[in-house]
Every structure is written in structure tokens, then in C-alpha cells.
């Protein structure tokens, strides 16, 4: 059944601990479902290379394992969606806390339709092993930085995951398995809302 034609961006938030496989699974969904993948983290890291005041603040917050001010993140996400010709978006690593949720409602609000939050559930020890072995050159991919990030994640992001569960907008997938096994379940969850290989006019 074809989806109703709409110009409103359709969004799936993708959350999980650092190293849970968000980027890997999003890349596969982009290929199969023609999503645009927006990584909050990549957008923020990209801003740090531009020599802006926001970029300097972002770098400082990341070095300390803290969450970047919500207005900066939401502005970057909103701008990226507005500049895209697509209306299907995967936003990974966001929202990370209640402040992010409130900021999204304030800045984006009804201009986007959040379908649900895809949660990649992975044990901390598996996440740490993946991070120290992925060699992507990220400044926060160290055991020390992971410990800071996981504390922030547990304190601020886990309650947001639980919030999406409370409003029946959570799709939880165990991600401590092979990429293919995880994706089989991810694909089912996404396929319940979006037709594979189809894009809206």
C-alpha cells in the first residue's frame, strides 16, 4: 500500500549506547529504505572543523564527555532536513536527554513527524570492545572517554528511551549479535512503517 503523499519529514530517532551499532544499522537502512541518515554526532563533529564559536564549544563539551547545548544540535538537524530533497530521515544519537526532547519540540515541533525511536540494546562490555577496536580516528573512542560517555548515557539518555516506551513509540532491538542478525529485526521494525525501496513524491 502506497504511503500518503506528504511534505512533512518523517523521522525515526535511533538511540543506543556508544558502540551499539547505530551507524552500521543506519547505513543499511539508507540503502534499503532510501532514508537520509543524519548523525547528530557527525553534524556536531563537522561543526568543530569550521572554526566557529559553536564549534569550539562543541569540542570542549565532547572532550569532557558532556552533552552539547540543545539549540546547537537542533539547529544543525533542522537545517539538514530543510536542505534535503528527501522526507525520510534517520536521526541517530538524538535525543540524548529531556533537554533534547524539549528543544526538538520547540525548534522542530510539528514540522516533522516522529514515527518512533529505534533502540539498539547492547551490553556495555560489548560496546566498549567495539569502540576500542573500530579505529575510526575519533577523539572520543578511548576507554577513558567511553566511561565518561556511558555515565552520561545511563543518567540522561536511558530515561528518554524509557519515555518513548511509555508513549508506545519504542522499537527495541538487541544489538549484541552479528550485523546481519540485528538488521533482520531492524528491517522488520522499519518495514512496519515504511515500504522498502520506496520514496515519497
pLDDT at 66: 84
* Enclosing H/E stretch for 73: helix 70-83
Cα(96)–Cα(16) distance, integer angstroms: 9
Is pLDDT of 139 > 80? Answer: no
Nearest to 145 by CA among 23, 24, 13, 41: 41
The set of cell numbers assigned to 96 is 540524548
The set of cell numbers assigned to 65 is 564527555
Q: What is the DSSP letter of 97?
A: S
Cα(19)–Cα(129) distance, integer angstroms: 8
CA distance readout (Å), 103 to 71, 74, 153: 6, 7, 18
Q: What pLDDT digit, counting tens, does each position of 39-79 carry?
A: 888 899 899 998 888 899 999 998 888 878 899 999 899 98
Q: pLDDT above 70 covers what percent of the chain?
A: 91
Cα(49)–Cα(106) distance, integer angstroms: 27
Residue 18 CB-density burial (10 A; 0-12 exposed, 13-18 middle, 19+ buried): buried
Q: What pLDDT digit, counting tens, does each position of 3-16 carry?
A: 443 579 999 999 99
30, 103, 116, 5 alpha-carbon torsion, rounded to 10°: -70
* Enclosing H/E stretch for 121: strand 113-121
Q: What pLDDT digit, counting tens, does each position of 79-105 carry?
A: 899 989 999 999 998 999 999 999 999
Instruction: Decide the pairing of beta strands 170-174 and 36-39.
Output: unpaired
Q: Are 95 and 68 in contact (CB under 8 A)?
A: no
Amino acid at each position: 500500500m502506497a504511503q500518503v503523499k506528504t511534505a512533512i519529514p518523517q523521522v525515526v530517532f535511533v538511540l543506543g549506547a556508544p558502540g551499539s551499532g547505530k551507524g552500521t544499522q543506519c547505513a543499511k537502512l539508507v540503502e534499503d529504505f532510501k532514508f537520509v541518515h543524519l548523525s547528530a554526532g557527525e553534524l556536531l563533529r563537522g561543526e568543530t572543523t569550521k572554526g566557529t564559536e559553536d564549534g569550539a564549544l562543541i569540542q570542549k563539551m565532547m572532550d569532557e564527555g558532556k552533552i552539547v547545548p540543545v539549540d546547537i544540535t537542533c539547529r544543525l538537524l533542522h537545517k539538514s532536513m530543510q536542505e534535503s530533497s528527501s522526507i525520510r530521515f534517520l536521526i541517530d544519537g538524538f535525543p540524548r536527554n529531556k533537554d533534547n526532547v524539549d528543544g526538538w519540540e520547540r525548534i522542530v515541533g510539528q514540522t516533522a513527524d516522529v514515527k518512533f525511536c529505534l533502540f539498539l540494546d547492547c551490553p556495555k562490555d560489548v560496546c566498549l570492545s567495539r569502540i576500542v577496536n573500530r579505529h575510526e580516528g575519533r577523539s572520543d573512542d578511548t576507554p577513558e572517554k567511553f566511561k565518561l560517555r556511558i555515565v552520561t548515557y545511563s543518567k540522561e539518555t536511558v530515561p528518554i528511551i524509557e519515555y518513548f516506551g511509555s508513549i508506545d513509540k519504542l522499537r527495541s532491538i538487541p544489538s549484541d549479535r552479528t550485523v546481519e542478525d540485528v538488521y533482520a529485526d531492524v528491517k522488520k521494525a522499519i518495514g512496519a512503517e515504511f515500504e522498502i525501496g520506496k520514496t515519497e513524491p
